[in-house]
Amino acid sequence: MMKIFSKKKHKKGFNRSIDDLQTKINEKEIEEHNDYIVELLQNPKNWGIPSDKEISVSQAFTGPCGDTMKLFLKIKDGIIEKANFVTDGCGASVATASQTTQLIEGKSLDYAEKLKPIDIDEALKGLPEDHKHCAELAIKTLRRLINKYKDKI
């Protein structure tokens, strides 16, 4: 499977900076993604680990491809006030996580719980065929996070 970023495992991958992300973008592989996704890859919104006071719940999940995503949500009265992510995965995983956080910020947990991989794919104006599954990683991580939060409250 083609990767936009070289594979780095979890701790190192989670700590990589935006500059590090951008330097690893392979021009040939960028051609496989639409302009919207490329823009998101170059300027991923909500990347990074927030401060403890900005985290109500966090959850990491590793998909069958071996890539791990971690989401962080600040929730108040059932509304997601802030959403962040990190991932050691492919470029599409950066785009799907970033898009997911943008879709759920300011929305209710009920809304977030109902999101499906196709919603992320459509919001991204179409992932390449061999990266459709990357949206599943984002949604599976999100659902595990919401279940964890519900168990906690």
Q: Which is nearer to ligand FES, 105 or 136 (CB)?
A: 136
Query: Do 21 and 8 form a contact (C-beta atoms < 8 A)?
Result: no
Q: Could you tell me the strand order of the sheet in which 57-62 lies?
A: 57-62, 68-76, 79-87
- Residue in 37, 90, 120, 142 binding ligand FES, rule: CB under 6 A: 90
Number of residues lying near ligand FES (CB under 6 A): 11
Q: How far is 25 from 54, CA to CA, in rounded Å?
A: 30
Answer yes or no whether residue 124 interacts with ligand FES by CB under 6 A: no
C-beta separation of 67 from 90 below 8 A = yes
Tokens (6 digits) for 57: 């719940």
Q: Quick one: which segment of 29-37, 49-57, 71-79, 130-138 binds ligand FES (CB under 6 A)?
A: 130-138
Measured from the CB atom, the residue of 67 and 105 that comes closer to ligand FES is 67
CA atoms of 101 and 121, how far apart (whole Å): 13
Candidate residues 37, 134, 142, 146; the one interacting with ligand FES per rule CB under 6 A: 134
Chain contacts with ligand FES (rule: CB under 6 A): 1, 63, 65, 67, 89-90, 92-93, 131, 134, 137
